[in-house]
Amino acid sequence: MAEPTPWEQVLDYSRRPDPYPLYTELRRTPVSRLEDGSYLVTTYAENLALLHDPRLSSDPSHNPQFAAAMEELSEDMQPSFLQMDPPEHDRQRRLAMRHFGPPHQPERIAGLEPRMIEIVTGLIDGMAGKDRIDVVDELAYPFPVSVICELLGVPPEDRSEFRKWVDLAIETIDPGLDPETQQEKRKEASTELFNFISNLVERHRQSPGDDLLSAMVADDGSEGRLSTGELASTGLLLLIAGHETTVNLISNGILTLLRHPQALDRLRQDPELVIPMTEELLRFEPPVHFVPIRTALDDIEIAGTTIAAGSPVTLVLAAANRDPGRFAEADRFIPDRPDNQHLGFGSGIHLCFGAPLARLETQVALTEFARRIRNPRLAEDPPPYRPSPILRGPLHLPVDIDPD
């Protein structure tokens, strides 16, 4: 049996705790062609260039392999703007952003900070008397889920059902699944999630509130409103992306701080350090490791390689974030790293829509963890990881603490 390639090892679950030595090996060839005809991009400059290159499409219909996967979805499910190119991408993103952030709603996210602190305070209060906690189950997951559900107007009684189908949907992007199982899971998850979000949209249409989904349903801007199908796909994107990556960012962040106790002590002494520290965590332990399902619309010459038109392309952002050609001491965690232009949220037209929300949530969670949790110690290192090599983070994070 042939020795597995570095990329095959990245996809192997056994390497989930530490794929970074493999990324170092992959960066030796900035743009490489895999046996299946797809291309892998691993260095910073090349990832940044392609994230801004209109010849690299996010629309799955441009590649037969990706298009077939999209056909497996629920018949009524439409792709989100994350899977679109301009100009339609730009229209739908603008209509969603009108109610989410600047310039139209500059205070929507910042105004959530008191409520975020209240949620985190309640979660930490619930740890009273314990000598061991699971950071994922007791903080990193319930916190961003509560925030995004309140922001979008998901009733508390619907959240457990939502979690079940989101967990299934995340499983479907695991490259390690056999195609038949992946297809079955994708079809089931898409159908149930579409029904969930469609019912939610209709309820907000009949009885609007002051939440984000109600605002999008009732939008009367000059560009018109999102259609019912567009509302469903956009709402679902915000619900899933609005918490899944933040769960990883917070849990990876706390894991990193517990591995670097001096940094945790610095944060206790200087809470303002959390701002650059969050950016360094996005570089050092990003919640999204690579971006698949991109297709070259034309031949693209880059780093001495020609990416052939029609070829699938995977952008390995986590490898780019540790590129020593861009970052000094790239494999070292430096909480106040200057000039930290990481790719933790991507770049270009698909720059993470929810980045301001994820940043603030992470800053609140890390600050309160440092301030209130007494003498935290890792109970297991490495912890068990989630299956996905794309959305990489601990499945559980057991931590011993001194009880109050």
CB-count exposure of residue 29 (10 Å: 0-12, 13-18, 19+): middle
- 363's enclosing H/E stretch is helix 355-372
Query: How would residue 125 be classed by pLDDT, with cut points 50, 70 and 90?
Result: very high
Q: What is the pLDDT of residues 287-328, one digit of tens each?
A: 999 998 899 999 999 999 999 999 999 999 999 999 999 999
Query: How would residue 79 be classed by pLDDT, with cut points 50, 70 and 90?
Result: confident
CB contact at 8 A, 120 and 368: yes
The contacts found for 200-208 with CB under 8 angstroms, 24 or more apart, are 200/153, 200/154, 200/158, 200/235, 201/228, 201/231, 201/232, 201/235, 204/153
Q: CA-to-CA distance for 105 and 221, rounded, in angstroms? A: 14
Q: CA-to-CA distance for 287 and 289, rounded, in angstroms? A: 6
Indicate whether 71 pLDDT > 60.
no
Q: CA-to-CA distance for 178 and 197, rounded, in angstroms? A: 28
Residue that the structure tokens 């009885």 belong to: 207
Indicate whether 101 pLDDT > 60.
yes
| pTM of structure | 0.91
**Which two tokens mark 18?**
């530490």
Q: What is the pLDDT of residues 154-177, one digit of tens each?
A: 888 877 777 776 776 666 666 656
Which residue ranges form the domains of the chain, and what is each CATH number? 6-400 (1.10.630.10)
Q: What is the pLDDT of residues 109-124, one digit of tens each?
A: 888 999 999 999 999 9
- 41's enclosing H/E stretch is strand 39-41
Q: What is the pLDDT of residues 206-254, one digit of tens each?
A: 888 888 888 888 887 677 788 888 888 888 888 888 788 999 999 999 9
pLDDT value, residue 215: 87
Q: Please provide the average confidence, as pLDDT, over all residues in the chain.
A: 89
pLDDT value, residue 32: 97
- Beta strands 305-307 and 39-41 are unpaired
Q: How far is CA 233 from CA 12, 46, 148, 240, in A?
A: 31, 31, 16, 11
Helices (H), 127-211: 135, 142-152, 159-171, 179-206
